[in-house]
Amino acid sequence: MNKQYLLQIADFWKTRILLTAVELEILPLLQSPSTASNIARAKDLDTGATERLLDALVALEILHKTDNDYEITHHFKKELGDGVHSIIGMLRHRLHLWNSWSMLSEIVRSGKCYYELKGSYDERGENLVDFIRAMAASGVNIAEETLIALDLEAFGGVGDVDSVLDIGGGPAIFAIEFCKALPGIRMVILDRPGVKEIAAEFLENSPYKDEISFIDGDVLTVDNADVIGETGDKKFDIVFASNLIHSMSPDEVRELLRRMARWANPGGQIVLKDFYLEDNRTHPSRSALFDINMLTNTPEGKSYTWSEVETMMNYLVNENGGKVVKKTSHVYLSDGFSGIIVADLNG
Ligand SMILES: C[S@@+](CC[C@H](N)C(=O)[O-])C[C@H]1O[C@@H](n2cnc3c(N)ncnc32)[C@H](O)[C@@H]1O
């Protein structure tokens, strides 16, 4: 480690150049060749400053330049365009995070998150579309691997899993993967109102679009009957939640787990995917950094340690005071910081 390491950590120029291109919405205009003055005119920008920004994007090899024409390089056209391969939603989400993270010193001084400092507690607000699109962009990289790690065959044979509930299923990327792995299952997503309309864009061309149903609601307050039916006859073999607990307080996670257990069939599984920490709370480093994202953007969310979550699971008791969880196990995924905890429930 030397001073280069520290200076590299403090290097933000590339990030801000790309995020500014996203914020000014000039990338769609660069899907085909355009001059700086055309771009500046279309977006009401200063021509000289626009030209310098575009030159910097060429220097970053995001654009190429021929005479006075700029265009996105062919490597990035799909990623910076529309459609399912686009990462524009993720970049816009990062732009919102840039704004909240810029308050980090004040957040550490006060212990209040960005939204509390602003006087509004909705961590997603008007950014919901960007947020869900961002989750789609990250979900496609890890959903298949998550299901392989879950080892559905080992769970008792594919035939034994008839139903899956995905809580906070967002853009339906994991639900699509469950449908692929377990043909014919009853697949239900429970997420907040407004999300299923955004998920529709990822389901539009999916063969599973009619197999996935949605329940609009807040997992912590929704009626049991809306999830498992009046008589409780629609419980699920797997109750799954990915990247949900990190936005919740420990009390909320306990309530979530109680509900997950209530909605699972005896002998079924509760599965929580998230960015987990070892007990020292500093490793893996990505989970430790993600913890700052939650400090910044949620009132009480955080990166949880494996043992915090597994302890909560093992304390779950049913109405008669009996133990709900037979055993828990956990595994890191290949990125080295995402992981899943599986709780096998008593029969
Ligand atoms: C970080 S995203 C994760 C999306 C997806 N599960 C994934 O891993 O890519 C969290 C999701 O949980 C949903 N969510 C957060 N709190 C919720 C709550 N209290 N009730 C229902 N859904 C919630 C959000 O709307 C969002 O879709």
Ligand 1: which of 191, 223, 256 to mutate, judged by most atoms within 8 Å of the beta carbon?
A: 191
195 C-beta closer than 6 A to ligand 1: yes
Q: Ligand 1 mean position to 192 CA, how many Å?
A: 8
Q: Ligand 1 mean position to 135 CA, how many Å?
A: 9
Right CATH number for 125-345 from 3.30.70.60, 3.40.50.150, 2.30.40.10, 3.30.559.10?
A: 3.40.50.150
218 C-beta closer than 6 A to ligand 1: yes
Closest CA to 296 of 125, 124, 113: 113
Ligand 1: which of 244, 259, 260, 337 to mutate, judged by most atoms within 8 Å of the beta carbon?
A: 244
172 C-beta closer than 6 A to ligand 1: no
Question: Alpha helices, DSSP H only, in the chain?
Answer: 3-9, 13-23, 36-43, 47-59, 88-101, 104-110, 114-118, 128-150, 173-181, 195-203, 224-228, 250-263, 285-297, 306-314
Atom of ligand 1 nearest to the CA of 273: 8
Residue-wise pLDDT tens digits, 183-236 = 999 999 999 999 999 999 999 989 999 999 999 999 999 999 999 999 999 999
Same fold yes or no, 3-81 and 125-345: no
The confidence score (pLDDT) of residue 126 equals 59
Q: What is the mean pLDDT of residues 15-24?
A: 98
Backbone torsions φ then ψ of 75, nearest 5 degrees:
-60, -35
Q: Which of 27-31, 56-60, 154-158, 227-231 has the lowest mean pLDDT?
A: 154-158
Strand order in the sheet with 63-66: 34-35, 69-72, 63-66
| Residue 304 DSSP label | P
pLDDT higher than threshold 80 for residue 158: no
Right CATH number for 3-81 from 1.50.10.10, 1.10.10.10, 2.40.70.10, 1.10.357.10?
A: 1.10.10.10
Q: Ligand 1 mean position to 170 CA, how many Å?
A: 6
Domain layout of the chain by residue ranges: 3-81, 125-345
Tell me the C-alpha to C-alpha distance, in Å, between residue 69 and each of 31, 94, 254: 12, 28, 57
189 C-beta closer than 6 A to ligand 1: no
Q: Ligand 1 mean position to 153 CA, how many Å?
A: 27
Atom of ligand 1 nearest to the CA of 220: 19
Residue-wise pLDDT tens digits, 99-120 = 999 999 999 999 999 999 988 7
301 C-beta closer than 6 A to ligand 1: no
Q: Ligand 1 mean position to 94 CA, how many Å?
A: 17
